[in-house]
């Protein structure tokens, strides 16, 4: 993987070049802040979600443990969640008002500040891999619609019929949303807050973040959310942190939520958890936005924070146990398990 | 115009609500950092550019002088430049590799932090007005491709045939670019750095920013640049500043250039000019990016900065003379004129 170094005689905090291998590595991921309410979650459904989160976590952790890059780790974790019909990304994506799946994804490399995003994708099985192609094979950062699907074909990325993404559960959610759209609160948490993402620090000291989503149920065709936008839903910078967000995308775009975590660390000297809490409580919430994020800093500290009743999430640090959680306070239980 | 106030008991710097009328108002605009080299600029061409910049400046200034809003002022200034075939926005836009015009625009309201953006638009005469529709009439922030064109039709916004945007000059530029694409430096400054934008502070103390572009000549179809992205090419926040950028969009996206100016003011306490200079020199340049920006802060101080040989630009503060400039050090000459 090419990682162009930073050049120039600039002063001030700069992305750090690749460092000597360190035993410290970490991955954290989320499957969306839109969890099914605890009372409505069956034992079987909860088991399925936990298993799917553990599968994605294992996929990413294995890459890091073998000395692989954070870019490969977050790609592997997000691909696993895109392939699962349980999450709002790839197969199982939320549907637009027209009943179609329009997929967004992004990936960012904290070492070089290179990034790739795709939006309004309709035929690419794993949008996060297409985002990575944009980052590594084009001069562009964000590619949309027909141009994105065309790039996938040019590079032989696996494509599928648009129907591949559509699941019975999301069709029902769309019908519910259409019936109730004039009522307050017609969108359930799960309809509003789906998205998957992962962040990682690898043995080489490099951070990466990736996010993938189907967006919001009943979204207007052509709506682009925060996930594919550098600094809104996805950001990574070796100087500070890697961040992936989930929630009502419009608020994350207006507050530049992912980048704001980094800016508060870099320009105000906050720690990762402080910065993340500040963004969710003092920037997002006052505008009316809710959601969550996972983030990891250059020391390998990971945080999962959300202002919703829960967030599908998992994390694992080098040599530590896997932690899988859904509701608030689940982490401790899981850690003990 | 609805300006939802901020809510919640959050502390920390917040967007300021509308204030009592003040005599202080300012507008600044740019017509792109990709100027024709001084040696190649004919007297007639320079006269045309200066006249077009003055027209756009007058359109925006008149709104402010009459007590209008900064949103209306930046809209009026950008519409004037979209309508001029001289600038890379609206009519006269740079063409994609496929010879088509795919237009991007955004607008942001510093009082409410509401924003609207559109991308990959092909039939809307004034993309900045469509961006404003997205902000004011939808729940979304960014709308792309067919969804954006459909919204315009729903609201009766003026549409045109895709050929309306295509000018002979841009067709020639595309041919030049196609012939020379394998050589170093095949893109001229003018091909790389076009974009128009405006920022304003109105009598009510509210800041706004707007940007519109055709993107880069020979861009891959589907490529989305920084202009329509909140925080990349366009940002406004009453707490800090309004910013509109022009340049190689990918670098402005990776550095969150427009928002970074605001973050440096808010989180590190820099003044507007310091913050803008830091972003261009210490963030953009080290990655290899060039371009410029116009910005205005809450006190009405305006800056125009660029790392290119020139930037089409104009500004005018309440009661002051209009300033129109193209090359570095032009401002003084103009101011004296």
Domain boundaries, chain B: 26-327
pLDDT grade for A336, boundaries at 50, 70 and 90: very low
- The series of mean pLDDT values per 10 residues for chain B, 337 residues long, is 35 47 84 84 92 98 98 98 95 89 96 97 96 96 91 95 92 84 53 84 97 88 94 98 95 98 98 98 95 96 94 96 91 46
The angle, 0 to 180 degrees and rounded to 10, between the axes of the packed helices A257-268 and B257-268 is: 40
What average pLDDT does chain A have?
A: 88
> Which H, E and C letters describe chain B, residue by residue?
CCCCCCCCCCCCCCCCCCCCCCCCCEEEEECCCCCCCHHHCCHHHHHHHHHHHHHHHHHHHHHHHCCCCHHHHHHHHHHHHHHCCCCCCCCCCCCECCCCCCEEEEEEECCCCEEEEEEEECCECCHHHHHHHHHHHCCCCEEEHHHHHHHHHHCCCCECCHHHHCCHHHHHHHHHHHHHCCCCCCCCHHHHCCCEEEEEECCCCCEEEEEEECCCCCECCCEECCCCCECCCEEECCCCEEEEEEECHHHHHHCCHHHHHHHHHHHHCCCHHHHHHHHHHHHHHHHCCCEEEEEEECCCCEEEEECCCEEEEEEEECCCCCEEEEECCHHHHHHHC
For residue A185, pLDDT over 70 is answered with: no
Q: Could you give the strand order of the β-sheet that contains A291-297, starting from the edge strand earlier in sequence?
A: A234-236, A241-247, A291-297, A302-306
For residue A250, pLDDT over 90 is answered with: yes
Instruction: State residue B324's pLDDT score.
Output: 96
Q: Which residues of B91-127 are buried (b: 16+ CB within 10 A; e: fewer)?
A: bbbbbbbeeebbbbbbbbbbbbbbbbbbbbbbbbbbb
- Do B266 and B243 meet the contact criterion of CB atoms below 8 Å apart? no
For residue A192, pLDDT over 70 is answered with: no
- Do B130 and B79 meet the contact criterion of CB atoms below 8 Å apart? no
Pick the CATH number of B26-327 from 3.40.50.300, 3.40.50.150, 3.10.580.10, 3.60.20.30: 3.60.20.30
Comparing B183 with A215, the larger pLDDT belongs to A215
pLDDT grade for A79, boundaries at 50, 70 and 90: very high
For residue A249, pLDDT over 80 is answered with: yes
Catalytic (active site) residue B96: no
Instruction: State residue A278's pLDDT score.
Output: 98
Q: Specify the range with the lowest mean pLDDT, choosing from A91-95, A104-108, A157-161.
A: A91-95
- Do A238 and A110 meet the contact criterion of CB atoms below 8 Å apart? yes
Q: Name the residue in chain B with its Cα closest to that of A109.
A: B254
The angle, 0 to 180 degrees and rounded to 10, between the axes of the packed helices A145-154 and A127-137 is: 80
Give me the residue label for tokens 């990918």: B250
pLDDT grade for A186, boundaries at 50, 70 and 90: very low
Instruction: State residue A332's pLDDT score.
Output: 55
Q: Specify the range with the lowest mean pLDDT, choosing from A5-14, A28-37, A194-203, A319-328.
A: A5-14
From chain A residues 241-280, the ones with a CB under 8 A of any chain B CB are 249-250, 253-256, 259-260, 263-264, 267-268, 278
Residues of A tagged active-site: 195
Comparing B8 with A56, the larger pLDDT belongs to A56
A224 → closest Cβ in B8, B139, B144 = B144
Comparing A174 with B192, the larger pLDDT belongs to A174
pLDDT grade for A184, boundaries at 50, 70 and 90: very low
For residue A17, pLDDT over 70 is answered with: no
- Do A95 and A166 meet the contact criterion of CB atoms below 8 Å apart? yes
For residue A117, pLDDT over 60 is answered with: yes
CB contact under 8 A, B253 and A267: no
B267 → closest Cβ in A113, A222, A264 = A264
How many angstroms separate the CA atoms of B107 and B112, rounded? Answer: 12
CB contact under 8 A, A256 and B230: yes
> Do strands A223-224 and A234-236 pair parallel, antiparallel, or not at all (unpaired)?
unpaired
| A171 min Cα distance to partner chain B (Å) | 21
Instruction: State residue A19's pLDDT score.
Output: 46
């Amino acid at each position: 993987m090419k990682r162009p170094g930073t050049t120039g005689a600039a002063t001030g905090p700069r992305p750090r070049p690749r460092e000597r291998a360190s035993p410290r590595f970490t991955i954290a991921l989320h499957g969306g802040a839109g969890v099914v309410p605890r009372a409505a979650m069956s034992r079987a459904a909860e088991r399925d979600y936990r298993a799917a989160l553990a599968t994605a976590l294992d996929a990413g952790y294995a890459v890091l443990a073998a000395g692989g890059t954070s870019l490969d780790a977050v790609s592997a974790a997000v691909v696993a969640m895109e392939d699962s019909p349980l999450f709002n990304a790839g197969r199982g994506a939320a549907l637009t008002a027209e009943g179609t799946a329009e997929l967004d994804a992004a990936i960012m490399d904290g070492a070089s500040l290179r990034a790739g995003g795709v939006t309004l994708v309709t035929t690419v099985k794993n949008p996060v891999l297409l985002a990575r192609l944009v980052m590594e094979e084009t001069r562009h950062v964000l590619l949309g619609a027909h141009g994105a699907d065309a790039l996938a074909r040019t590079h032989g990325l696996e494509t599928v019929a648009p129907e591949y993404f559509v699941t019975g559960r999301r069709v029902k959610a769309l019908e519910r949303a259409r019936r109730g759209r004039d009522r307050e609160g017609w969108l359930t948490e799960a309809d509003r807050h789906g998205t998957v993402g992962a962040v990682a620090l690898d043995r080489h000291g490099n951070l990466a973040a990736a996010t993938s989503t189907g967006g919001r149920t009943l979204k207007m065709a052509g709506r682009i959310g925060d996930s594919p936008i550098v600094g809104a839903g996805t950001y990574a910078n070796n100087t500070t942190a890697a961040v992936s967000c989930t929630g009502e995308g419009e608020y994350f775009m207006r507050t530049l939520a992912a980048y704001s975590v980094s800016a508060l660390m870099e320009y105000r000297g906050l720690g990762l958890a402080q910065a993340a809490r500040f963004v969710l409580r003092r920037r997002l919430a006052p505008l009316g936005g809710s959601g969550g994020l996972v983030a990891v800093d250059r020391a390998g500290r990971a945080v999962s924070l959300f202002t919703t009743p829960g967030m599908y999430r998992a994390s694992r640090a080098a040599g530590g146990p896997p932690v899988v959680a859904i509701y608030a306070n689940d982490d401790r239980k899981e850690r003990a398990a």
